[in-house]
Amino acid sequence: MSTLPAWGEAFSREESLQVPTIPAMDDLTTDWAWGGDRGSGAGVRVAVLDSGIDSRHPGIGRGVQGFATVSREGEHLAISREPHEDVFGHGTACAGIIRSQAPGCDLYSVRVLGPRLRGSGDAFIAGLRWAIDNEMHVCNLSLGTTQREHAEELRELADEAYFRGIVLVTAANNLPIVSFPSLLSAVISVASHGRPEPGIHYYNPHPPVEFGAPGSDVAVLSPGGGRAIATGNSYAAPYITGLVARLLGKHPGLTSFQVKTVLRAQAANVQRSS
């Protein structure tokens, strides 16, 4: 028997090729995907890379199950696992949307942004690396960078997450400019659809932004235990993140491309066969 070319060994053992089947795309019903269970997502680890999460806000429900703070110490970056606060309110707003969709998920707050909702590209990369290394199931990235010097490393991390079965849900920039990692094919890129219908999402047949979700004049959590109305792609991404957490809670082990397939099948604008 001739030696297999590189990468072929993965297909040489029959037992390693067994994967669970899913119904045909037209049969992917809402009941199959989410099960109507608002507690879906139990045990699913969701990292929110942002300004922090206010774990004491009543809207966060079960609180926060883990923390990581990326900070600069001299010329180096350090990561602390100690609990932290939300220094702006943006991360809490995103976390509240996720929990509204998947109350049973485990939230991990990865603080990479400062009090002015700004941060460095290398801190963002370090936070994403932490989330991947700590085996999150889903990462909500309602942030990005326009600095092309970080594009290649973010691409490599997005590919690594994809191959490890970690779903990255990213918010597109609010301006019509190129930003990373939202325009990479290995992530789920989301923008606000701006339509009045609540609780639905759309598939975009003309990527790179693939999905539209509620993000215009949506109710979000605000600092001090309050609520506010906000608009932005930042708030559309966590809606999809919540759906992904519910999906993975019911169907553990789905790959990133299977997750995209289900999201597409459940989009409001996909025509279903009669």
Q: Which pLDDT belongs to residue 183?
A: 93
Note the pLDDT of residue 85. Answer: 96
pLDDT recorded at residue 174: 93
> Given this model, what pLDDT does residue 238 score?
98
pLDDT of residue 138: 98
Give me the pLDDT at residue 74, please: 81
Q: Rounded to 5 degrees, what angle do the CA atoms 99, 207, 96 make?
A: 10
CA atoms within a 13 Å half-sphere pointing along the CA-CB vector of 74: 1
On whether the CB atoms of residues 109 and 79 are closer than 8 A, the answer is: no
One-letter amino acid for residue 163 of the chain: F
Q: Mean pLDDT in runs of 10 for the chain (274 residues)?
A: 63 66 76 73 93 96 96 91 97 97 95 96 97 98 96 98 97 93 96 85 91 93 93 96 95 93 91 62
Q: What is the pLDDT of residue 24?
A: 80
- Backbone φ, ψ for residue 87 (5° rounding): -90, 0
Residues 6+ apart with CB under 8 A from 50: 86, 90, 91, 94, 95, 109, 110, 111, 112, 113, 140, 142, 143
Q: Global pTM? A: 0.93
Specify the pLDDT at position 191: 93
What pLDDT shows up at residue 23? 72
Nearest to 205 by CA among 271, 151, 273, 142: 271
Query: What is the predicted pLDDT for the residue at 272?
Result: 67
pLDDT (0 to 100) of residue 13: 67
CA dist 50 and 88 (Å) reads 9
Domains belonging to the chain, first-starting first, are: 35-265 (3.40.50.200)
